[in-house]
Amino acid sequence: MSRHIDKAAQNREVFENLSVPKALATLAIPTIIGQLIILIYNLADTFFIGRVNNPYMVAGVSLILPVYNICISIAGLVGIGGGALISRLLGAGRDDEAVKVSAFSIYTAIGVAFLFALSVLIGMNPLLNVLGASSETEAFAREYAICVIVVGGIPTVLSITMANLLRSTGCAREASFGVSMGGIINMILDPLFMFVIFPRGKEILGAGLATATSNLLACIYFVITIKRLQGNTVLTLSPSAGMPSLQNIKAIFAIGIPSALASFLFDLDFIVIDKLATSYGDIPLAAIGIVLKAERLPLNVGVGLAQGMMPLAAYNYAARNLPRMRKAISYSRIAGLIFAFISIILYEIGGGAVMRLFINDPETVRIGTNFIRVRCIATPLMFTSFHMVNAFQALGKGKMAFFLPFARWAMFNIPLLYIMNALFGMYGIVWAQFAGDILTVTVSIIAYVQFEKKELKPMEQAMMSEAAISG
């Protein structure tokens, strides 16, 4: 029991007393490492499939990846919403309610993931038609979807949900280890399944089963970890924990639904890109598919920073320590922007080398190099956009956390894809991200300034009045 108490006290020390840069590093560095492993294992399928040097296989996988990412976004429904709420409940000293929220989040994730996997299985043919699969790519896309979504959907969603919940209680290392472990296993299994166990021509099946297997093993790790830490944290797998209050269920979905919709719209944007790219042929589709994955290095680092920031900001907001909350948000933003600008330089210099890591087809490399040099310019804007959304999620501001991604994708980016494609062709698709995110960042900054003015400043004034009266 003493070990449990010491661990809980250590986590509260990070949230309450450790200097903000050190606290942010404690929470964010393991998460960034985990995100980089996620990036590597997401790239692994494309990398090893690219070794076959078949652009149609790459294109088939590229068509399914946005749908797979939508499956992953389900984890945000309760993982982000439940995790942010747990951090705020801990900051408010309501540990008993946090236990109920954790159990509710886990079992809701299982149910929703099952329904999504079933719907993909039943609607596979119309889905592939909507995605624009050609006769050369349809079989590859179908095979990959069955493996990573229909078979592997539940463990994938559950793993990410449990990682978010662990992070919300300060257990960033445990969360990062599980995510990293799944990624490393996937990188080991990919070549084993693709080139050793399965015969030539079945590389897509091997890659898909490798991903599903690695996510299952990661899920088992998270289940064991939460059971081991039971009593050490507020997390539990027991359905007997009871239901959280109706108010807190609403609070979970007030953040979780916008988070899931934001991820959905993000991936819908990718689907639109793929759909528009198919009109230019399978080679440009393969090129843009590689670019959309290769450009994620700075974004995954940014995601790690934002995820490390969220529990720290949420806890201190609930504890009414607004200066510490603001520092958590601003320090993580600055660090993310620095890395984003460095990444622009690296992609501009090494875009061709990045493409050749995945495929040796000269035309695919040529087109993709041009694409990635354009897309990377939007990196600081993309980071700022989702960092602002994560900040509003941490503070429990569900309406704004929904509005900003909705505006980004539904009002700006997706319409601009169609407009700029009509005006400028394939390169209009590539430049649309930059144009859309300029508008999004402008709206995000205005929204946060208004939040400071209308909510945070009055809260500070009320706190000062209370202190004066009590003094």
Mean pLDDT of the region 10-15: 77
- The answer, yes or no, to whether residue 88 has pLDDT greater than 80, is yes
**Predicted local confidence at residue 447, as pLDDT:** 92
* pLDDT (average), residues 35-47: 71
pLDDT band at 302 (very low <50, low <70, confident <90, very high): confident
pLDDT tens for each residue of 133-151: 777 888 888 999 999 999 9
Residue 279 has pLDDT above 90, yes or no: no
Q: Would you give the end-to-end CA distance of the chain in angstroms?
A: 39
Residue 2: pLDDT band (50, 70, 90) is very low
Mean pLDDT of 392-401: 84
Query: Rounded to an integer, what distance in angstroms lies between the CA atom of residue 22 and that of residue 145?
Result: 41
Q: What is the mean pLDDT of residues 242-250?
A: 90
Give the pLDDT of residue 201.
80
Cα–Cα distance for residue pair 276/105, rounded to 1 Å: 37
User: Reduced to 3 states, what is the DSSP secondary structure of residue 242?
Assistant: coil
Q: What element of type H or E holds 60?
A: helix 55-91
Give the Cα-Cα-Cα angle 250, 259, 67 (nearest 5 degrees).
Answer: 125
| More confident: 139 or 70 | 139
Name the DSSP class of 361.
Answer: -
Interaxial angle between packed helices 153-168 and 55-91, expressed in degrees from 0 to 180 and rounded to the nearest 10: 30
**Which pLDDT belongs to residue 83?**
87
pLDDT of residue 6: 53
Helices 296-318/153-168 angle, 10° precision: 50
* H or E segment and range at residue 427: helix 426-451
Q: Are 152 and 212 in contact (CB under 8 A)?
A: yes
As a whole number, the mean pLDDT across the chain is: 85
pLDDT tens, position by position, 324-342: 999 999 999 999 999 999 9
- CA distances, 95 to each of 81, 90, 369 (Å): 17, 6, 51
Task: Tell me which range, 31-40, 201-210, 259-268, 334-343, is most confidently predicted by mean pLDDT.
Answer: 334-343
* Number of residues that make up the chain: 471
Q: What is the DSSP letter of 456?
A: I
Radius of gyration of the chain (CA): 22
Residue found under tokens 């080991």:
188
Residue 4's pLDDT is 43
Per-residue pLDDT of 157-189, as tens digits, reads: 999 899 989 988 888 888 888 988 888 898 899
pLDDT of residue 7: 57
Query: Is the pLDDT higher at 248 or at 266?
Result: 248
Answer whether 112's CB lies under 8 Å from 157's CB. Answer: yes
- Kindly report, residue by residue over 338-396, the tens digit of the pLDDT: 999 999 999 999 888 888 887 788 888 888 898 899 888 999 998 998 899 889 988 88
Distance CA 338, CA 390 (A): 18
471 has a pLDDT exceeding 60: no
Share of the chain above pLDDT 70, in %: 95
pLDDT surpasses 70 at 130: yes
Cα separation, 444 vs 386, whole angstroms: 9
42 band by pLDDT with thresholds 50, 70 and 90: low
